[in-house]
């Protein structure tokens, strides 16, 4: 709670000490907002500690497995994006402690997740994304990631994003504005009419059905 600056509730902690470094299992983890409402719920988190924890003086994991995450993501009228109450678009590293910490872990795996998306720039009912699978592998300067997500049924079929990025040596890990690399996106079935209330599309594009694949070069946070 002190590290994140928001209340954290943990139902149970199990420690496995069979190896040289312990494996931690946290159950029924909830991150609460200022009104004590859960903005992130994690039924099960398993982390295999890394020897780097000794030198970093904070938990570092060879692998962090998050199973069954249920979280809220929203964008406000100023275009800022918040995940579980944390602003991921913040320019100041002091305002993204969780994302910086996550991108310092060697491997983060999220499986069987659910995400609810709210967008103040396109007011509508919150949209629910299911079967969210996320894998991120991080080193000193490199971030490789893959995201697979099932959107609302009327939007189309399952979407895949694959990214390979590098960052400057002294940059904060979560400062994506300084990343360079390639992002691949695949959407095998898209219904533009269903997307229109939720996204700013090119002028005149109101109806279309089809598949989309894109290879996007990214530099300094821009495509």
* Spatial distance between the Cα atoms of 221 and 211, rounded to a whole number of angstroms: 26
Q: pLDDT digit string (tens) for 160-199?
A: 999 999 999 888 888 888 899 999 999 999 898 888 888 8
- Residue with the two structure tokens 């962090």: 64
With b meaning 16 or more CB within 10 Å and e meaning fewer, what string describes 181-212? bebeeebeebbbeebeebeeeeeeeeeeeeee
Q: pLDDT digit string (tens) for 56-91?
A: 777 788 889 999 998 888 889 988 888 877 777 766
> Quick one: tokens of 183?
């992002």
* Spatial distance between the Cα atoms of 119 and 115, rounded to a whole number of angstroms: 13
Q: pLDDT digit string (tens) for 120-162?
A: 988 888 899 999 999 999 998 999 999 999 999 888 899 999 9
How many C-beta neighbours within 10 Å does residue 45 have?
20
Question: Would strands 38-49 and 61-67 be described as parallel, antiparallel, or unpaired?
Answer: antiparallel
């Amino acid at each position: 709670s002190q590290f994140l600056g928001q209340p954290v509730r943990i139902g149970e902690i199990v420690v496995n000490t069979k190896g040289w470094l312990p494996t931690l299992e946290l159950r029924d983890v909830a991150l609460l907002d200022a009104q004590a409402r859960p903005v992130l719920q994690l039924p099960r988190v398993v982390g295999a500690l890394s020897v780097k924890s000794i030198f970093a003086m904070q938990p570092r994991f060879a692998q962090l497995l998050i199973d069954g995450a249920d979280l809220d993501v929203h964008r406000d009228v100023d275009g800022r994006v918040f995940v579980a109450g944390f602003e991921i678009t913040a320019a100041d590293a002091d305002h993204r402690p969780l994302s910086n910490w996550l991108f310092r872990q060697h491997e983060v795996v999220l499986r069987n997740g659910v995400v609810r998306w709210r967008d103040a720039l396109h007011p509508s009912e919150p949209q629910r994304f299911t079967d969210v699978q996320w894998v991120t592998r991080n080193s000193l300067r490199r971030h490789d990631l893959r995201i697979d997500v099932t959107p609302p049924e009327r939007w189309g079929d399952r979407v895949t994003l694959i990214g390979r990025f590098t960052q400057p040596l002294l940059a904060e890990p979560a400062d994506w504005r300084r990343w360079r690399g390639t992002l691949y996106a695949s959407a095998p079935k898209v219904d533009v009419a269903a997307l229109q209330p939720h996204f700013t599309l090119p002028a005149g594009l109101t109806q279309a059905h089809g598949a989309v694949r894109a290879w996007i070069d990214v530099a300094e946070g821009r495509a």
